[in-house]
Every structure is written in structure tokens, then in C-alpha cells.
């Protein structure tokens, strides 16, 4: 079956027309969701028909309401307008793409072992990772000031081991990793936006609190943590314990609230149990009240963890307000004007629009929490996340329908108040994407400066869009031009599995250093070793046998030479290579690879890096520079001589 034909047998429901490619997988997924009783009140008939999917190339001819469009092609030698920060999912990394070219510029190893850079094996990274070599990054967000990015840090979660990492934008290298206490499945994160204050982290998996063997068979006693981490010091400040599992996270623009979508209000532990109730919640955390409780000691301790915990399980309190929304919400995104939190329905075809300035009255008990919901447009089957153009429109990713739905916020609010609840129709366009879009984000969408130029649909399946490369398919991140009245698909971007989310940041806000600054906290460690050994890191080439038997090799590099042509150690020695790159020139990295010893790491211009290993059996072992650095790069090597 070709993309543009539809097999009537594959219609999912008599009422609901799924436009676009009627392929087996799309229909299969839709059927699965329906079989799970997952969709409530789904009725697509009122929605505008989605345009036919565009041919692979050339781009479709202009249609009514089209526009000249933003220029997606970036010529050789030209720079992109935006930095795109992509999470890498189960690859454990973060990637930097240029937008709109979608060229992958850099991979930043975070929770993963990286052979190219030695991340996970160098002394510094090994210490940060604490022996874990995998991770699952979902959400990347940058530090803010005054409602927009301040260009200092990138924060990213690890769902697998409940951690939060910070990348310094100076070097685009991880500088901190912390554990989230009493948490599993750390999922949604978001920094505060008025300044670099807290970074909030949601635990998606409810667990016994304390999780030490007690309460295992009584899920009613399970709970989940909303954790406030200081974005400057990366210290956990406090936690709020709630009964529900916390999914995506958002913050307002004033510093008053943080948000968490909360599905599984049933408190179930199986899929069926988690989908029982028709209603779940958007949890709203009142930051000042939480801080006050912490200051007044109205907190508990959970297990051995030293951090104060506000026990907010049970009914609404000064700390947490539960705004009812249709079943199993997923994404929550705050509009660039700071007025609304958009809560995507996932198992409901709606987005609930929560008006943030009504929350104070709800916290004060003057209005019901549900009265904060001012619109609930029907956007399609399986809405997951919402992006913004700064012009009053929202773009919601629709997983089951494989479309992006563009809708107008003001119209949705008007329609909600109208007699039939539907007039005016807020839905402006539904654009086919390929396939099964998860996250979406737009240029500067998570800031007050959303500029309405580019939208990314992070599609979970690529299927037939690329050459067949075997059972593991890539993901497909599609670039959509939103600068005109209509969304236009302009580019397919294959990615290695599996980005979950991205943010698109105006290039003028990010200023990395091209030469390694030696002020980075990492250098304090090397400096302290050098001081103890009476070594000048930047000049000396010395072998130091420490009292504990460790052999420290301090070495320099300058293309195409190492400061040492050879060094000698004994079989079984613990050897630590501390290499300093004397080249102070842009793009002149060296590295250090030791034959047959699984030692390989990167040392950038003006950088120092180190790795520790055990010397093998007696013999000669060449070490060499793995980074092409000079015409005589292949000759850049020396001998490690191991004696018995
Ligand atoms: S999640 S597809 Cu991990 Cu951000 Cu929504
Ligand atoms: Cu240094 Cu190649």
C-alpha cells in the first residue's frame, strides 16, 4: 500500500477519520490505544481534514495561505540561527544540532560511556558517574534569567537512575551530576524562569517511602517526590512528597509555582489499574509556602536522606493544589506570556488550559481548583506536548494521529465559554508528521521570547522514510516552518535513538569558550595532585611513584609530540596518566590511547585530563594520539615499557 491510499479495513473507528498514511503501524497503534480503553470522547469528525502528506521531494507546491517561508537551507560555511539542544534518550547523552539545518554538531556524553572522549573512563567523569555507565535523558532545559536563557547551564535528567546533570555552556561538558533522593524515574525537570533558582525534578515512579523493604506489598503507601535543586550549587534543597506519580514538569515566569502532570490518581501498579479513573490532575506546587514550611521546620526526614521533605500527601494544602484534568495527562507547557499552563491529555483528545493567575484564589480556597481551567480544546488523539509561536498560537503534538495541531489560545478560551462549547473553532491546522510524534518544541518556545519561526516534531518512528538499515530504525525529527499562517514540513532529520525533547535557543545567547578555560572545577583536582607531587602541570614531564604504589605520569603534548618518548612501569602497577595539552590553538585536540590497555581519552587545547589503569604483562606498548592533529599526527606516539 502506498502512503496516499487508505485501506478501509484499517479505519479505526467509524466516526474517527485518521487522515494521511493509512499504514499498518499507525493504525495498529491507534487500535492498541482504543483497545486499552484509552481514549475518551474521541471525535475527530469536527476537525479540519489534514492535508495530504508531502512527497519526499521536491517540496509541495504552495497552497492557499502559503508564504515564502523561513529559509531552512544553510549553505556550506554558513552558520545556523539557533542552537538546538536535544536529549539522547537511552543513549544517555545530549546533542547539539544546528537549527534550521538540523546538522548534528556535537554529542555531549552525560550518563554514558563515550569512547571518543573517554567520558566514563577518565578520573573526573568516573567519579561523577559513580560506576554507572548508562542513563536515559529525556528533558534538556537551560538556565534562565528574566524569562529567557542566560546561556550558562544546560540541565538534563536521567530517568534510569534518578539523577540530574548539569552541562556548562562554557565548555559544553558536564560539570555536575547529583542523585535525586528517595526517587525513581526522575522524568520531568524545569528550572525556574525568573532567575537561576531551583531546578524542579519529578519522580515518575511511586515507591515505598522509605524504600528499604517496608510497605512493598501496599501500594497505597507509595509516594513520589517533587524535588527542588539549587541550580547554582546543584544541592538538593527540599522535596515535596505526594501520593501520585509525577510526569512532566513546568515552572511559571514569576517564580511562584512549579507544575507536574500527575497520572495514575488511582495509585495503581499495573497498566489496567493506572487507566481506571476518568480524571487525573495537574499538581501545582506553591513555592513560597514550601520554603516557609522548610524554614519553620514543618518537614519530615525520609530514611537516611538529610533533606527536608514536606509531606503533602492527601488533600489540597498550602503546598499542593490538584487541578482536575481529563485522564492521564502528559506534557505541561507554559505559554510565553506566562499566562497559561497547557496540560496535554494523552488519553483524552484535549488540552486543558490552566490560567495561572487564578491559582492564588484556588490556593486560598476562594474558587475550586477546576475553575482555573479556562479552555479544553479537542486537538486530536493522543496529545502529548505543546509549543508556542509567541503570536497567540499553540502547537500540540498528537501521537496517535501522527499530526501537529495548530490552535489559537484566545479562540479556545472563547469557545470554552460559548453555548455549544465549540465556537469559534480554535483548530487552525493539522499537519501530518512521520510518524507518531512525541515531543515538540519551537524556537525559543520555552521563553518569553518565543519567535514563531521553527517547530520540531520529534517522531518516535521513521519506518519507510529512510534507507533500510536493519531492524533498528532511527527516529525522525521533522523541521516545520511556522513563520507563516500555515505549518510547512521542510526537513526530515534522522537521529540515533532516542531523543525525547529539545529546546531551540537563539544563537546569540550561547557563547562557549573555544579554548579550554582552566578555571573549570575539574582543574582543582589536577592542580591538587600536581601540588602534592611538586609538579608544574603546564610544563613538567615526570614519572612520580607515590607512597601508595600508584605511578603518576605527568605528561604534556604539543603537536606532533608528547613530552615523553617513553616511560617505564611494572606489571600490575596502578598507572595514572595526567596529560596537559600545551597547544593553545583553536581546534587542536590531542588524546591518549594506550595499546591493549583500553585507555583512550581526549585532551582539548589548553586542557588537562587524566585516566587510571593497571599495567599489563611485561613488554612494549605504544601509546599514541588518536585525534588528527598535525601532518605528523600518525607519528605522535611513545612507548610504555612494562617490566616484571
Ligand atoms: S516524555 S513523549 Cu519523557 Cu518528555 Cu513526552
Ligand atoms: Cu596529537 Cu594527533
Distance from Cα 281 to the centre of ligand 1, integer Å: 17
- Element at 272 (helix H, strand E): helix 271-274
- What pLDDT, in 10s, does the model give residues 346-383? 999 999 999 999 999 999 999 999 999 999 999 999 99
Q: How confident is the model at residue 303 (pLDDT cuts 50, 70, 90)?
A: very high
Q: 543-549: which pairs have CB atoms within 8 A and are 24 or more residues apart?
A: 543/567, 543/568, 543/569, 549/573, 549/574
Is the pLDDT score of 273 beyond 90? no
DSSP string for 124-162: HHHHHHTT-----B--EEEEEETTEEEEEEEEEEETTTT
Q: What is the mean pLDDT of the chain?
A: 90
Q: 260 to each of 137, 282, 407, how far by Cα in Å? A: 18, 6, 23
Binding site membership of 141 for ligand 1 (Cβ less than 6 Å): no
Rg (CA), the chain: 27
Please choose, from the candidates 452, 458, 503, the residue with its C-alpha nearest in 3D space to the C-alpha of residue 481. 452
Would you say 599 and 592 are in contact if contact means Cβ atoms under 8 Å apart?
yes
Beta strands at 566-570 and 637-643: parallel, antiparallel or unpaired: parallel
Cell of 354: 490552566
Look at residue 60 in the predicted model and tell me its pLDDT. 44
Distance from Cα 79 to the centre of ligand 1, integer Å: 29
Half-sphere exposure (Cβ direction) of 288: Cα atoms closer than 13 Å: 5
Cell of 185: 524515574
Distance from Cα 641 to the centre of ligand 2, integer Å: 21
Q: Which residue has the cell 590553538?
A: 585
Give the C-alpha separation, 45 to 16, whole Å: 6
- What pLDDT, in 10s, does the model give residues 474-525? 999 999 999 999 999 999 999 999 999 999 999 999 999 999 999 888 999 9
Please choose, from the candidates 379, 264, 394, 389, the residue with its C-alpha nearest in 3D space to the C-alpha of residue 342. 394
Binding site membership of 636 for ligand 2 (Cβ less than 6 Å): yes
Distance from Cα 346 to the centre of ligand 1, integer Å: 11
- What pLDDT, in 10s, does the model give residues 326-352? 989 999 999 999 999 999 999 999 999
Binding site membership of 329 for ligand 1 (Cβ less than 6 Å): no
> Residue 608 CA to chain centroid, in angstroms?
29
- What pLDDT, in 10s, does the model give residues 10-59? 333 333 333 334 444 444 444 444 434 333 333 333 344 444 444 444 44
DSSP 9: G
Binding site membership of 625 for ligand 2 (Cβ less than 6 Å): yes
Binding site membership of 562 for ligand 2 (Cβ less than 6 Å): no
Distance from Cα 91 to the centre of ligand 2, integer Å: 28
Binding site membership of 138 for ligand 1 (Cβ less than 6 Å): yes
Reduced to 3 states (helix: H, G, I; strand: E, B; else coil), residue 415 is helix
- What pLDDT, in 10s, does the model give residues 400-452? 999 999 999 999 999 999 999 889 999 999 999 999 999 999 999 999 999 99
Look at residue 520 in the predicted model and tell me its pLDDT. 83
Look at residue 592 in the predicted model and tell me its pLDDT. 98
The predicted model gives 104-122 an average pLDDT of 98
Beta strands at 488-495 and 502-506: parallel, antiparallel or unpaired: unpaired
The residue contributing the CA closest to ligand 2 atom 1 is 590
Q: How many CB atoms within 10 Å of residue 549?
A: 10
Is the pLDDT score of 312 beyond 60? yes
The predicted model gives 252-280 an average pLDDT of 89
Binding site membership of 439 for ligand 1 (Cβ less than 6 Å): yes
Give the C-alpha separation, 337 to 194, whole Å: 13
Distance from Cα 579 to the centre of ligand 1, integer Å: 40
Residue partners of 351: CB distance under 8 A and separation at least 6? 342, 343, 344, 345, 375, 376, 377, 379, 383, 386, 394, 396, 407, 412
Distance from Cα 558 to the centre of ligand 2, integer Å: 8
Binding site membership of 253 for ligand 2 (Cβ less than 6 Å): no
Would you say 254 and 288 are in contact if contact means Cβ atoms under 8 Å apart?
no
Binding site membership of 327 for ligand 1 (Cβ less than 6 Å): no
Binding site membership of 460 for ligand 1 (Cβ less than 6 Å): no
The residue contributing the CA closest to ligand 1 atom 3 is 138
Binding site membership of 542 for ligand 1 (Cβ less than 6 Å): no
Helices (H), ranges, 343-489: 359-363, 409-417
Give the C-alpha separation, 458 to 399, whole Å: 10
Would you say 567 and 544 are in contact if contact means Cβ atoms under 8 Å apart?
no
Ligand 1 atom with minimal separation from the 397 CA: 2
Give the C-alpha separation, 270 to 385, whole Å: 24
Binding site membership of 12 for ligand 2 (Cβ less than 6 Å): no
Ligand 2 atom with minimal separation from the 633 CA: 2
Q: How confident is the model at residue 274 (pLDDT cuts 50, 70, 90)?
A: confident
The residue contributing the CA closest to ligand 1 atom 2 is 438
Binding site membership of 579 for ligand 2 (Cβ less than 6 Å): no
Look at residue 39 in the predicted model and tell me its pLDDT. 37
Ligand 1, residues 92, 158, 384, 396: which to mutate, most atoms within 8 A of Cβ? 384
Look at residue 271 in the predicted model and tell me its pLDDT. 86
Distance from Cα 508 to the centre of ligand 2, integer Å: 32
Would you say 574 and 552 are in contact if contact means Cβ atoms under 8 Å apart?
no
Binding site membership of 330 for ligand 1 (Cβ less than 6 Å): yes
Is the pLDDT score of 62 beyond 60? no
Distance from Cα 316 to the centre of ligand 2, integer Å: 61
Q: How many CB atoms within 10 Å of residue 461?
A: 20
- What pLDDT, in 10s, does the model give residues 125-154? 999 999 999 999 999 999 999 999 999 999
DSSP string for 423-437: -S--EEEEEE-SS-E
Distance from Cα 247 to the centre of ligand 1, integer Å: 8
DSSP string for 196-232: S-EEEEEEEE-EESS-SSTTTT-GGGEEEEEEEEETT
DSSP string for 517-529: -TTSTHHHHHHHH
Ligand 2 atom with minimal separation from the 557 CA: 1
| Cis upstream peptide for 70 (omega within 30°) | no
Ligand 1, residues 141, 248, 351, 461: which to mutate, most atoms within 8 A of Cβ? 248
Give the C-alpha separation, 545 to 619, whole Å: 20
**Full strand arrangement of the beta sheet holding 140-145:** 140-145, 148-158, 163-168, 173-179
Q: Characterize 256-269 residue by residue with b for buried, 16 or more Cβ atoms within 10 angstroms of its Cβ, and e for exposed.
A: bbbbbbbbbbbbbe
Distance from Cα 5 to the centre of ligand 1, integer Å: 31
Binding site membership of 263 for ligand 2 (Cβ less than 6 Å): no
- What pLDDT, in 10s, does the model give residues 574-626? 999 999 999 999 999 999 999 999 999 999 999 999 999 999 999 999 999 99
Give the C-alpha separation, 495 to 462, whole Å: 10
HEC readout, 583-608: CCCCCCCEEEEECCCCEEEEECCCCE
Would you say 226 and 285 are in contact if contact means Cβ atoms under 8 Å apart?
yes
Cell of 458: 520529534
- Element at 98 (helix H, strand E): strand 93-99
Q: How confident is the model at residue 68 (pLDDT cuts 50, 70, 90)?
A: low
Q: Which residue has the cell 551530576?
A: 177
> Residue 245 CA to chain centroid, in angstroms?
19
Amino acid at each position: 500500500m502506498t502512503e496516499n491510499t487508505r485501506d478501509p479495513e484499517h479505519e479505526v473507528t467509524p466516526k474517527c477519520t485518521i487522515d494521511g498514511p493509512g499504514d499498518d503501524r499507525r493504525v495498529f497503534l491507534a487500535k492498541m490505544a482504543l483497545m486499552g480503553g484509552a481514549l475518551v470522547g474521541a471525535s475527530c469528525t469536527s476537525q479540519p481534514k489534514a492535508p495530504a502528506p508531502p512527497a519526499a521531494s521536491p517540496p509541495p507546491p504552495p497552497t492557499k495561505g502559503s508564504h515564502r517561508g523561513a529559509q531552512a537551507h544553510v549553505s556550506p560555511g554558513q552558520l545556523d540561527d539557533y542552537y538546538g539542544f536535544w536529549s539522547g534518550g537511552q543513549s544517555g547523552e545530549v546533542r547539539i544540532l544546528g537549527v534550521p539545518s538540523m546538522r548534528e554538531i556535537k554529542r555531549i556524553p552525560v550518563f554514558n560511556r563515550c569512547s571518543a572522549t573517554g567520558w566514563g573512563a577518565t578520573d573526573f567523569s568516573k567519579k561523577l558517574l559513580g560506576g554507572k555507565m548508562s542513563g536515559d535523558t529525556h528533558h534538556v532545559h537551560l538556565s534562565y534569567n528574566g524569562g529567557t536563557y542566560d546561556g550558562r547551564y544546560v540541565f538534563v535528567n536521567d530517568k534510569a537512575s534518578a539523577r540530574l546533570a548539569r552541562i556548562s555552556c562554557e565548555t559544553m561538558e558536564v560539570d555536575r551530576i547529583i542523585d535525586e533522593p528517595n526517587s525513581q524515574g526522575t522524568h520531568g525537570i524545569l528550572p525556574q524562569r525568573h532567575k537561576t533558582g531551583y531546578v524542579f525534578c519529578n519522580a515518575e515512579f511511586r515507591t515505598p517511602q522509605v524504600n528499604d523493604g517496608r510497605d512493598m506489598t501496599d501500594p497505597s503507601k507509595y509516594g513520589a517526590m517533587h524535588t527542588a535543586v539549587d541550580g547554582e550549587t546543584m544541592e538538593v534543597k527540599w522535596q515535596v512528597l505526594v501520593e501520585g506519580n509525577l510526569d512532566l514538569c513546568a515552572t511559571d515566569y514569576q517564580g511562584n509555582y512549579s507544575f507536574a502532570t500527575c497520572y495514575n490518581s488511582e495509585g495503581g501498579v499495573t497498566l489496567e489499574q493506572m487507566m481506571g479513573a476518568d480524571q487525573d490532575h495537574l499538581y501545582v506546587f506553591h513555592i513560597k509556602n514550601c520554603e516557609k514550611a522548610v524554614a519553620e521546620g514543618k518537614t519530615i526526614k525520609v530514611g537516611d536522606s538529610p533533606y527536608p521533605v514536606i509531606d503533602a500527601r492527601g488533600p489540597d494544602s498550602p503546598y499542593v493544589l490538584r487541578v482536575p484534568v481529563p485522564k492521564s495527562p502528559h506534557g505541561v507547557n507554559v505559554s510565553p506570556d506566562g499566562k497559561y499552563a497547557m496540560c496535554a491529555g494523552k488519553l483524552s483528545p484535549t488540552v486543558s488550559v490552566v490560567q495561572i493567575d487564578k491559582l492564588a484564589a484556588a490556593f486560598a480556597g476562594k474558587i475550586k481548583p477546576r475553575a482555573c481551567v479556562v479552555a479544553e480544546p479537542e486537538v486530536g488523539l493522543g496529545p502529548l506536548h505543546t509549543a508556542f509561536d509567541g503570536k497567540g498560537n499553540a502547537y500540540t503534538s498528537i501521537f496517535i494521529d501522527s499530526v501537529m495541531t495548530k490552535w489559537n489560545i484566545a479562540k479556545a478560551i472563547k469557545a470554552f465559554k460559548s453555548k455549544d462549547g465549540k465556537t469559534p473553532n480554535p483548530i487552525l491546522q493539522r499537519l501530518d508528521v512521520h510518524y507518531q510524534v512525541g515531543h515538540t518544541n519551537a524556537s525559543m518556545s520555552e521563553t518569553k521570547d518565543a519567535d514563531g519561526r521553527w517547530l520540531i516534531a520529534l517522531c518516535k518512528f521513521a519506518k519507510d522514510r529512510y534507507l533500510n538499515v536493519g531492524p533498528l530504525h532511527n527516529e525522525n525529527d521533522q523541521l516545520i516552518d511556522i513563520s507563516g499562517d500555515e505549518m510547512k514540513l521542510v526537513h526530515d532529520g534522522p537521529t540515533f535513538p532516542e531523543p525525547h525533547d529539545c529546546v531551540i535557543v537563539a544563537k546569540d545567547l550561547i557563547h562557549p569558550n573555544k579554548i579550554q578555560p582552566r578555571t573549570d572545577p575539574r582543574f582543582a583536582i589536577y592542580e591538587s595532585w600536581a601540588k602534592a607531587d611538586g609538579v608544574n602541570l603546564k610544563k613538567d614531564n615526570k614519572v612520580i611513584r607515590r607512597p601508595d604504589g600508584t605511578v603518576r605520569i605527568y605528561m604534556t603534548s604539543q603537536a606532533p609530540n608528547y613530552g615523553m618518548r617513553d616511560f617505564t612501569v611494572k606489571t600490575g602497577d596502578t598507572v595514572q596518566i595526567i596529560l596537559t595539552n600545551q597547544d593553545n590553538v583553536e581546534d587542536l585536540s590531542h588524546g591518549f590511547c594506550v595499546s591493549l590497555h583500553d585507555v583512550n581519552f581526549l585532551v582539548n587545547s589548553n586542557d588537562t585530563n587524566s585516566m587510571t589503569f593497571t599495567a599489563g604483562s611485561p613488554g612494549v606498548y605504544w601509546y599514541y594520539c588518536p585525534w588528527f592533529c598535525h601532518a605528523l599526527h600518525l607519528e605522535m606516539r611513545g612507548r610504555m615499557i612494562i617490566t616484571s
